[in-house]
Amino acid sequence: MSNRFRNIVPRLNAAVDWFIPARLKQSRDTLQAVRMFLFSHLFGPFLGHTISLSMLFVDGRADLSWWIFFIAVTGFWVFPILLRLTGSYLPLALVSIENLLFCIFWGCYQYGGISSPIMPWLVTVPLLAFFYLPERSTRIIVAVQIVANLALSYGVYATVGFGETVASHGLVVLGLISTLCASVYVSMMALYFASIVFSHGELEHEVQRHEATERQLREATGQAQRALLAKSVFLAKMSHELKNPLNAIIGYSEMLIEDAGQTETQKHKDLTSIRGAGHRLLGLINDLLELSKLEAGKVDVRVEEIEFPALFEKLVSPFGPVIAASGNELILRPPPPGPIACDSQMLQRIVEGLLSNAAKFTKNGRITLSASTLDEAWLISVEDNGIGIPKERMASLFETFGGSEDETSSKYVDEVRLGLPLAYRYCQMMGGKLSVQSETGQGTTVTVALPKPSRRVETPLAAAAAQSFVPALSTS
């Protein structure tokens, strides 16, 4: 099929589709049949009128029989409009075929009888039934119509005979024109039908390609999930293997610090550095273990009701010395009296991650931990006046193992931290939201919003919640 013809077909389809109601476009087979129906009715009458004008030339006058034939052929142009107005496709198709049979037998009765050059058009009727009446029952109705019209035509012939025969030379001219028009009509319908079938074939091929791509994506997703599970298992095993010797190193360093006392200053300083490095490494290993559990879906949410101020005090108590060691001032704004329903251990891990992060990127500054309650949620926020977060890093803020960059890296040693990603995942599991507002050089505010029971969206366990939650990130 040439490229020029391919360009014409979409334009024809666009013109034809204007007459098709929306409900007839839902089925591909129905759309194909209706397009064939409309194409034949929009362009077929031009060929029909070529024959009617030839009849006028042969007969030499426009009598009543010619006008009846002319009006019947013109009536085909009414069917596309009726289809657009009513949407009754099958009834209109059957009426149209009956109108075509009438044109054929009326032309035969007036011009030549059984030997009329109009008779070959009878062959197009079952062809049209194939083109735009795909159902078996409707094709049977068309066959009944053909037989009934043949019987009626024979009855008229047997009763009254045919009219006065047209001169033989006139029938020859009419026969040539009729045969040419019939050939053009059948070829035109066949080409349009082939173009529709070809376009549907291309569409099916494209659908198959998409299905193949979807299968490949599912396989790739399955492989990624298996790799993720294997990674989690490996991290869990490796972390457990590292914890035992690391605990021994920390324990021996503490014993050596006690033995050294304050007499050997340099030795005491070195041992303290060893102990500090051990604790940092132990914290990272614990985070890795927790991350592997989260990714494997082995962490459950245990909601309990507890007084909000008491929980707030419990959350804050371990962090005073840590924040003071970095030269920062910790400001507390406790919540009003009242209960909170949450997983207290999970909330403690969230606050621990946020405060550790704030202490890391704030030096000789101010860190504020505040809690409040609204009608629909409990709020806990950590605000600092540290270096802030660049806008380009906001999108990847909760990615695991995402190290600091640029100013953060140059000012403070770039170490792997999982506190914020873990806090994000814990918040997801409790059905909450974690929002971040930050400006470079001005500081960062991270707010945890936990929904109250009436507003809480229940999720099965960690994996489902982590898939469905989208964090709210913004830069002020």
Statement to judge: residues 211 and 308 lie in one domain: no
- For residue 235, tell me if it sits in a domain: no
Distances (CA, A) of 94 to 45, 117, 137, 206: 17, 24, 12, 35
What are residue 304's phi and psi, to 5 degrees? -140, 155
Residue 456 DSSP symbol: -
Mean pLDDT within 99-107: 88
What are residue 91's phi and psi, to 5 degrees? -60, -40
Nearest-angstrom CA–CA distance, 246 and 279:
9
Nearest-angstrom CA–CA distance, 35 and 21:
11
Statement to judge: residues 318 and 200 lie in one domain: no
> Which residue would you say has higher pLDDT here, 206 or 366?
366
Statement to judge: residues 204 and 326 lie in one domain: no
- 50's enclosing H/E stretch is helix 28-59
- For residue 277, tell me if it sits in a domain: no
What are residue 433's phi and psi, to 5 degrees? -130, 145
Query: At residue 54, does pLDDT exceed 80?
Result: yes
Query: At residue 261, does pLDDT exceed 70?
Result: no
Q: Dihedral of the CA atoms 212, 213, 216, 222 (nearest 10)?
A: -120
Among 181, 215, 249, identify where a domain stops: 215
Highest mean pLDDT pick, 81-85, 179-183, 456-460 = 81-85
Alpha helices (H) in 261-306, listed in sequence order = 265-295
Statement to judge: residues 327 and 211 lie in one domain: no
Statement to judge: residues 210 and 309 lie in one domain: no
* Residue 435, beta-bridge partner list: 447, 472
Statement to judge: residues 190 and 313 lie in one domain: no
Statement to judge: residues 151 and 31 lie in one domain: yes
* pLDDT tens figures, 221-242: 888 878 777 776 776 677 667 7
Statement to judge: residues 201 and 54 lie in one domain: yes
Q: What is the structure's pLDDT at 239? A: 66
- For residue 410, tell me if it sits in a domain: yes
- For residue 255, tell me if it sits in a domain: no
Query: At residue 331, does pLDDT exceed 70?
Result: yes
Determine whether 428 is exposed, middle or buried from the number of CB atoms within 10 Å of its CB (0-12, 13-18, 19+).
buried
Distances (CA, A) of 432 to 335, 399, 424, 470: 18, 18, 9, 10
Q: What is the structure's pLDDT at 78? A: 94
Q: What is the structure's pLDDT at 82? A: 93
Q: Which of 14-28, 182-196, 438-452 has the lowest mean pLDDT?
A: 182-196
* Residue 384, beta-bridge partner list: 367, 444
Structural domain count, the chain? 2
Q: Which of 39-43, 80-84, 413-417, 444-448 has the lowest mean pLDDT?
A: 413-417
Q: What is the structure's pLDDT at 474? A: 39
> Which residue would you say has higher pLDDT here, 19 or 14?
19
Highest mean pLDDT pick, 125-139, 201-215, 251-265 = 125-139
Q: DSSP per residue over 313-340, as a string? A: HHHHGGGHHHHHHTT-EEEEEPPPS-EE
- Report the share of the chain in percent with pLDDT over 70: 79
Statement to judge: residues 309 and 211 lie in one domain: no
What are the structure tokens assigned to 20, written together?
């098709």
> Which residue would you say has higher pLDDT here, 454 or 410?
454
Q: What is the structure's pLDDT at 454? A: 57
Statement to judge: residues 95 and 199 lie in one domain: yes
Q: Determine contact, residues 65/55, Cβ cutoff 8 Å.
A: no
Pairing of strands 366-373, 329-333: parallel
Of the pLDDT bands very low, low, confident and very high (cuts 50, 70, 90), residue 465 is very low
Statement to judge: residues 56 and 187 lie in one domain: yes
Mean pLDDT within 402-423: 51
Domain of residue 182, residue span: 3-215
Distances (CA, A) of 423 to 146, 345, 400, 418, 427: 79, 12, 11, 8, 6
Which residues lie below 8 Å from residue 231, measured CB to CB, with a gap of 6+? Answer: 292, 295
* pLDDT tens figures, 237-258: 776 677 777 777 778 777 777 7
> Which residue would you say has higher pLDDT here, 170 or 472?
170
Nearest-angstrom CA–CA distance, 471 and 476:
16
Nearest-angstrom CA–CA distance, 353 and 284:
12
Of the pLDDT bands very low, low, confident and very high (cuts 50, 70, 90), residue 72 is very high
CATH code of residue 348: 3.30.565.10
Average pLDDT, the chain: 77
**What would you measure as the largest C-alpha separation in the chain, in angstroms?**
140
Residue 461 DSSP symbol: S
Mean pLDDT within 27-40: 82
3-state secondary structure of 396: coil
* Residue 369, beta-bridge partner list: 332, 382
What are the structure tokens assigned to 195, written together?
């173009």
Nearest-angstrom CA–CA distance, 237 and 244:
12
Cα torsion 215, 221, 224, 230: sign: negative
Nearest-angstrom CA–CA distance, 273 and 250:
11
Among 215, 246, 264, identify where a domain stops: 215
- For residue 267, tell me if it sits in a domain: no
> Which residue would you say has higher pLDDT here, 106 or 210?
106
> Which residue would you say has higher pLDDT here, 115 or 201?
115
Q: What is the structure's pLDDT at 70? A: 92
Query: At residue 206, does pLDDT exceed 90?
Result: no
What are the structure tokens assigned to 451, written together?
């929904």
Among 163, 193, 215, identify where a domain stops: 215
Helix, strand and coil percent figures for the chain, each rounded to 5: 70, 10, 20
Q: What is the structure's pLDDT at 457? A: 45
Cα torsion 237, 238, 244, 250: sign: negative
What are the structure tokens assigned to 307, written together?
């007084």
Nearest-angstrom CA–CA distance, 362 and 166:
108
- For residue 408, tell me if it sits in a domain: yes
Tell me which residue of 46, 17, 48, 47 sits closest to 34, measured CA to CA. 17
- For residue 437, tell me if it sits in a domain: yes
Statement to judge: residues 206 and 309 lie in one domain: no
What is the total residue count of the chain?
A: 476
- For residue 190, tell me if it sits in a domain: yes
* pLDDT tens figures, 151-174: 888 888 778 776 655 556 667 777
Burial 344-381 (b: 16+ CB within 10 A, else e): bebbebbbbbbbbbbbbbbeebbbbbbbebeeebbbbb
